[in-house]
A and B are shown apart, each in its own frame.
Chain A
Amino acid sequence: EPEVTQTPSHQVTQMGQEVILRCVPISNHLYFYWYRQILGQKVEFLVSFYNNEISEKSEIFDDQFSVERPDGSNFTLKIRSTKLEDSAMYFCASSDHQGVSYNEQFFGPGTRLTVL
């Protein structure tokens, strides 16, 4: 069964460093999302992406964040200069707005980011 994959599963970085979190969405999906979950808190929407551009972003998604679909299969989230409060689990999701799975979002296993 097709699934969303994410790498790495765990990333440890020093404050101020750049990190890139990678996701491979389900191959025929066209809509891509990043969410994050700070430990003990609810999952929060960061950004959605369609047709090679950002469709919507939250207040959390400031200038330190960027997303890219560099090669038609990967979908990346870059944090330019990490802060302690960026420590969280980051989830990628994808969806297909047609057919049986209309609108349903499928999640990757997450990347746990720890900023020291």
Chain B
Amino acid sequence: KNEVEQSPQNLTAQEGEFITINCSYSVGISALHWLQQHPGGGIVSLFMLSSGKKKHGRLIATINIQEKHSSLHITASHPRDSAVYICAALNYGGATNKLIFGTGTLLAVQP
């Protein structure tokens, strides 16, 4: 069983739609990263959060520590938002804070 699960795996939306990507984790964490990966492979950190909610532009991330669940929302989606979105749990169980990655959600926003 994966320690970090994401849903959906694939998502197609029309431009302007509100998008939600979900992440559930089973490990103890100190924080959760949301990351974006474009074709060609580079990874960009969008958010790191350990409680509550963060907002950056049209992106909103929330986390519920008790339920071990986080969501990434994109408002007014645009074709340039098309990418793979990955949640990664920052695991405090070891000597350092390694990231445990989900499998990613492939988002395609159509004009």
Chain A interface residues toward B at CB < 8 A: 31, 33, 35, 37, 41-45, 48, 50, 55-56, 89, 91, 93, 95, 97, 103-107, 109-110, 112
Contact = CB atoms under 8 A, between A and B. Distances in A.
Contacts, number: 67
Interface size class of B (residues with CB under 8 A): 20 to 34
Please classify the interface of chain B as helix (H, G, I), strand (E, B), loop, or mixed, using the class held by over half of its residues. Answer: strand
B88 interface: yes
Please classify the interface of chain A as helix (H, G, I), strand (E, B), loop, or mixed, using the class held by over half of its residues. Answer: strand
B102 A103 contact: no
Given A43-B43, A112-B41, A105 B104 contact: no
Contact of B44 (A44, A50, A107): A107
A103 B94 contact: no
Given A106-B45, A107-B43, A109-B42, A43 B86 contact: yes
